Amino acid sequence: MSELTHFDEKGQAIMVDVGPKQITERLAVAHGKVYMKPETLELILRGEAKKGDVLGVSRIAGIMAAKKTPELIPLAHPLPLNSVTIEFSPDRGNSTINVEARVKVTAKTGVEMEALTAVSVTCLTIYDMLKAVDRAMVISDIKLMEKSGGRSGHFVRS
């Protein structure tokens, strides 16, 4: 079990001791998608959803989620985030909203969970704001795309 950092030698859950680690600038980028009916996507793009600005509200929800990650993920460290950005790329051809979260911190541990949490909650908020018109939406492809900083080095999904 020595490779699993969130467990002690008895197999019990622990919060990793990051005290000895170096403070470095760290970045994590995560992506996700929400598949929907073409008419639902057009409703978003025209700004005509009954609940309001779907992308604006979802962006705020994602930023808030990144800040709340240690309250949601039991062994995540609370971090003083430097920045959280959420970007949207509508894709009419596939009838999707592509979501990217980019999170930065200067700390002793990374922000992968913050980026993944931000993307997840952003996608969930899109669903919530549009479920009355399209219950068949699918949240998919949530994944870490890049991380940098720290001892494990730079990761970029190919």
Amino acid at 40: T
Known catalytic residue at 91: no
Q: Indicate the DSSP class of residue 96.
A: E
CA pair distance 149, 97, nearest whole angstrom: 29
**Other C-beta atoms within 10 Å of 132: how many?**
10
* The token pair that represents 133 in the structure block: 């018109």
From 8, 17, 91, 128, the catalytic residue: 128
Q: Nearest 5°: CA angle at 99, between 94 and 147?
A: 125
CA pair distance 61, 14, nearest whole angstrom: 29
CA pair distance 120, 47, nearest whole angstrom: 22
Catalytically annotated residues: 128
